[in-house]
């Protein structure tokens, strides 16, 4: 029998994992409380917590309308919503990264790998430059991006099933092919629209940013992400099987085909909503799962919750960095995560001891 | 006695009519608040905004908006300004120094703007995207008025010189300095009228306004401000429709005059841009090249240019009718 090159991680015991989850949960709450004190303007820490505790108190006693003034609006309507959004998207992307890597059995997969990003870009480009979808209201760009991402995911599954059942390789090929098609159409729209300002907006949009956060979008994204994570947590056995490939799984009595497609669509929904709320944020979904695997091994029972929490904490602090690096201005978060993520990934690759799990 | 009374009455009536007349004429020049002005939200829908008094805490972003405020003598109403593409004109430097211009950021973020509690944000439409300041309607609902340069309205509307006039006059009305705004608009209109008068009966010059963007040549059509200016000055656009043309198209069009658009970012950019046409062997047979009628024009003078539009008009006119501007 071939030796399994799984990475077990050095914190591999179940108690250690349970403790880690607890610690990460506490860290997440502390991160939220810490991060809310950072902003592009100087607001005294006392004022920040004053506003939040007052508002929470008024929400508790049922007086939801309490609060006014620019200090209140800056904290309650700008800072907090974007932190909650960062948390939700960080958790969602890291989870989807774990799942995608299992679905296509490829450690280089990220949440955007199966054409989702190009589909989203095409939707956004059509919205920004051609005004498609303005009926969806003020965030019509996000809605169109979501539609683009979701439609392309469906198309990838459809295409991969033509001429026989879809497997990891066919999914990847279908994703790559449809990505190229979408990119070509995006470029075509950019070319014919010839709109200087619009092109700037598209570029800016592609970089990803959390500035558009509102409580309404937060609620939707948070619910979708939590539901998605909850669902995947129940699926850890199948996800573990995916690493061993179709043949082994069939022998063990599980047909991965239908699960793969179901997982893909659930991921597409999560990523679609993340894109809807914040555009494209790269490398979180790629690097976080790898880092977590290094410490905790490849068992999805531990990998999923720990990745989600780590992703959430990471994106919260990445957002803080974005708002503070350049005074008075925000760096799009997608730029920052890529600048941090890419070198991390190269480092991980250079380490020889690291394995992805599974039999190959 | 009766006669005296009658005379007195008449005199009083006349006096009243006079004072009334004076009042009316004064009111004609003075903004009476509340003022209602039409602007646009992020999707490009028309919105009505109301000003109870002249704004006193204005945030001004991008070249044209900053310069408009200075030209109208409103620099002391501005609490923060951002986003100059190129230096303001010399006569506006002193004004700029009073506007708290921010060098670090090209545009401000939402929290920064919110904490300054402005009563007006005067900028381009793009700043109100959901990832930047958020839609205008939200700001207006919370007591901050917004005004965008009409030629940055979303939704494919033609960019016209008329829109630039409207913006100047609207800002004049909002701040109660309509006379100054009207004078600036009149200067532009007179310049154009003068050119048209002196060139009446002449054959309209065929003009191309182009910009080199990487390997592509973009063509300013009749739907863009540059094209609108050329047409207002009695010129014909060699290609009034295309937004992008190839070298071969330009050779085919063979316009009488070519304007090359540049952004004032580097020292020699004007000469470089002209050389791109003059020294390209593919263009050697163009009549504009042979006759030395290739000119440069600054983007800021013909793109959402507001007060700078006068410079755009003059540059175009001088290139189209060199004999008038000797």
**Would you say residue B236 has pLDDT above 90?**
yes
Position B28 confidence tier, pLDDT thresholds 50, 70, 90 = very low
**pLDDT at residue B26 above 50?**
no
Examine residue A221 and state whether it is found in any structural domain, yes or no: yes
Is the pTM higher than 0.90? The answer reads: no
Whether residue A60 lies inside any domain: the answer is no
More confident residue, B209 or B129: B209
Tokens of B190: 């007179």
What is the pLDDT at residue B78?
97
Tokens of B52: 């109870």
The two domains B35-159 and B199-325 share their CATH topology (first three levels equal): yes
Phi, psi of B294 (to 5 degrees): -115, 120
Outline where chain B has alpha helix (H). Answer: 2-29, 63-71, 93-97, 110-116, 136-141, 161-175, 178-198, 225-232, 247-253, 269-278, 287-290, 309-320
Q: Residue B122: is its pLDDT beyond 90? A: yes
CATH of the domain at A132: 1.10.3470.10
Burial of B50 (0-12, 13-18, 19+ CB in 10 A): exposed
Which pLDDT value is given to residue A355?
Answer: 58
Instruction: Please check whether residue B113 is in contact with residue B50, taking contact to mean a CB–CB distance below 8 angstroms.
Output: no
**Residue A142 lies inside a defined structural domain of this protein:** yes
**B81 forms bridges with which residues in the sheet?**
B60, B101
> Per-residue pLDDT averaged across B276-295, rounded?
94
Instruction: Tell me the CB-side half-sphere exposure of residue A170, using CA atoms within 13 A.
Output: 15
Residue in B85, B130, B139 to test binding to A, most A beta-carbons within 10 Å: B130
Q: What is the CA radius of gyration of chain B?
A: 24
- What DSSP character marks residue B233? T
pLDDT of amino acid A268: 86
Task: With a cut of 80, say whether residue B241 has pLDDT above it.
Answer: yes
Q: Rounded mean pLDDT of B234-257?
A: 93
pLDDT of B129-156, one tens digit each?
Answer: 877 898 899 899 999 999 999 999 988 8
Give the number of beta-carbon pairs within 8 Å between A and B.
82
Q: Specify the pLDDT at position A168.
A: 80
Contacting A with CB below 8 Å, chain B residues are 42-43, 102, 104-112, 114-115, 117, 124-126, 129-132, 134-135, 137, 142, 152, 154-156, 218, 243-244, 303
Range of the domain at A170: 14-40+84-350
- Residue B130 pLDDT: 78
Which of A162-171, B43-52, B197-206 has the least mean pLDDT? A162-171
Burial class of residue B238 in the structure, from the number of CB atoms within 10 Å of its CB (0-12 exposed, 13-18 middle, 19+ buried)? buried
String of DSSP letters for A171-224: HHHHHHHHHHHHHHHHHHHHHHH--HHHHHHHHHHHT--STT--HHHHHHHHHH
Domain assignment present for residue A3? The answer is no
The partner residues of B46 in beta bridges, in order of sequence, read B40
Band (pLDDT 50/70/90 cuts) for residue B47 is very high
pLDDT of residue B4: 65
The answer to whether position A45 is within a domain reads no
Domain B35-159 has CATH 3.40.50.1980: yes
pLDDT, residue A275, reads: 84
Residue B87 has pLDDT above 70, yes or no: yes
**What is the arithmetic mean of pLDDT over B116-121?**
96
Residues of A with CB under 8 A from a CB of B: 39-41, 43, 70-71, 73-74, 78-79, 131, 134, 138-142, 191-192, 194, 196-197, 200-201, 204-205, 209, 211-212, 279, 323, 326-330, 332
Question: For residue A52, is it left (φ>0), alpha (ψ between -120 and 50) or beta?
Answer: alpha
Q: H or E element: which one contains A289? A: helix A284-296
How many domains are contained in chain A?
A: 1
> Is residue A71 a part of any domain in this protein?
no
Whether A343 is covered by a domain: the verdict is: yes
CA angle, A22 as apex, A19 and A27 as ends, to 5°?
A: 125
SS3 label, residue B180: helix
The verdict on residue A283 lying in a domain is yes
Low-confidence spans in chain A with pLDDT less than 70: 1-13, 138-139, 196-197, 328-329, 352-360
Check residue B16 and give its pLDDT: 58
Cα A308 to Cα A317: distance, rounded to the nearest angstrom: 15
- On the question of pLDDT at B20 being above 80, the answer is no
What local confidence, expressed as pLDDT, does residue B19 receive? 53
For chain B, the first-to-last Cα distance in angstroms comes to 72
Spatial separation of the C-alpha atoms in residues B284 and B287, rounded to whole Å: 8
Q: Of B116, B136, B147, which Cα lies nearest the Cα of A328?
A: B116
Percentage of chain B beyond pLDDT 90 is: 74
CA distances, B264 to each of A321, B87, B300, B308 (Å): 32, 9, 8, 14
User: Which of B59, B82, B105, B109 should one mutate to test binding to chain A, selecting the residue with the greatest count of A CBs within 10 A?
Assistant: B109
CATH superfamily of B199-325: Nitrogenase molybdenum iron protein domain (3.40.50.1980)
């Amino acid at each position: 029998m071939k030796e399994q090159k799984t990475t077990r991680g050095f914190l591999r015991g179940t108690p250690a994992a349970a403790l880690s989850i607890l610690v990460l949960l506490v860290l997440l709450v502390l991160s939220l409380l810490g991060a809310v004190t950072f902003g592009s303007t100087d607001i005294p820490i006392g004022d920040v917590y004053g506003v939040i505790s007052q508002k929470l108190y008024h929400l508790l006693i049922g007086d939801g309308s309490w609060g006014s003034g620019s200090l209140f609006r800056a904290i309650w309507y700008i800072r907090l919503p974007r932190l909650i959004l960062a948390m939700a998207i960080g958790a969602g992307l890291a989870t989807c990264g774990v799942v995608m890597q299992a679905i296509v059995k490829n450690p280089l997969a990220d949440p955007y790998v199966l054409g989702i990003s190009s589909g989203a870009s095409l939707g956004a480009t059509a919205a920004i430059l051609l005004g498609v979808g303005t009926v969806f209201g003020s965030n019509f760009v996000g809605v169109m991006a979501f539609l683009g991402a979701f439609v392309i995911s469906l198309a990838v599954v459809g295409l991969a099933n033509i001429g026989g059942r879809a497997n990891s390789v066919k999914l990847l090929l279908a994703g790559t092919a449809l990505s190229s098609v979408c990119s070509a159409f995006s470029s075509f729209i950019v070319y014919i629209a010839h709109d200087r300002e619009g092109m700037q907006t598209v570029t800016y949009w592609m970089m990803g940013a959390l500035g558009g956060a509102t409580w309404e979008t937060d609620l939707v994204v948070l619910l979708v992400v939590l539901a998605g994570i909850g669902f995947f947590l129940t699926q850890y056995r199948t996800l573990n099987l995916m690493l061993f490939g179709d043949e082994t799984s069939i022998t063990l009595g599980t047909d991965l085909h239908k699960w793969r497609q179901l997982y893909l669509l659930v991921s597409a929904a999560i990523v679609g909503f993340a894109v809807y709320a914040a555009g494209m944020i790269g490398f979180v979904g790629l690097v976080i799962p790898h880092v977590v695997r290094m410490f905790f091994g490849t068992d999805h029972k531990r990998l999923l919750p720990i990745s989600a929490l780590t992703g959430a904490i990471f994106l919260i602090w990445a957002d803080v960095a974005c708002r503070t690096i350049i005074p008075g201005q925000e760096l799009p978060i997608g730029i920052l995560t890529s600048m941090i993520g890419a070198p991390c990934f190269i480092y991980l690759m250079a380490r020889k001891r690291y394995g992805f799990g599974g039999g190959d | 006695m009766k006669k005296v009374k009658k005379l007195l009455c008449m005199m009083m009536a006349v006096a009243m009519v006079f004072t009334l007349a004076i009042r009316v004429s004064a009111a004609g020049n003075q903004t009476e608040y509340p003022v209602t002005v039409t602007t646009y939200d992020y999707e490009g829908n028309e919105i009505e905004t109301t000003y109870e008094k002249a704004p006193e805490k204005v945030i001004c972003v991008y070249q044209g908006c900053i310069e408009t405020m200075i030209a109208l003598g409103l620099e002391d109403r501005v609490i923060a300004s951002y986003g100059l593409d190129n230096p303001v004109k010399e006569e506006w430097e002193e004004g700029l120094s009073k506007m708290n211009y921010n060098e670090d950021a090209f545009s401000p973020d939402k929290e920064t703007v919110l904490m300054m509690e402005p009563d007006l944000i005067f900028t381009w439409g793009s700043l109100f995207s959901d990832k930047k300041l958020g839609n205008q309607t939200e700001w207006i609902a919370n007591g901050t008025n917004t005004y965008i340069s009409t030629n940055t309205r979303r939704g494919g509307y033609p960019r016209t010189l008329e829109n630039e006039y409207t913006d100047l006059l609207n800002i004049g009305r909002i701040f109660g300095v309509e006379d100054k705004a009207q004078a600036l608009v009149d200067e532009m209109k007179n310049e154009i009228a003068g050119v048209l008068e002196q060139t009446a009966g002449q054959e309209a010059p065929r003009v191309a306004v182009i910009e080199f963007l990487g390997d592509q040549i973009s063509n300013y059509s009749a739907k863009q401000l540059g094209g609108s200016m050329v047409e207002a000055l009695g010129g014909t656009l060699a290609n009034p429709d295309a937004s992008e043309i190839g070298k071969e198209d330009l050779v085919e069009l063979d316009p009488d005059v070519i304007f090359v658009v540049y952004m004032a970012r580097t020292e020699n950019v004007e000469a470089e841009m002209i050389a791109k046409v003059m020294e390209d062997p593919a263009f050697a047979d163009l009549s504009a090249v042979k006759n030395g009628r290739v000119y440069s024009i600054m983007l800021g003078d013909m793109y959402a240019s507001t007060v700078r539009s006068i410079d755009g008009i003059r540059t175009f006119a001088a290139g189209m009718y060199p004999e008038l501007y000797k």
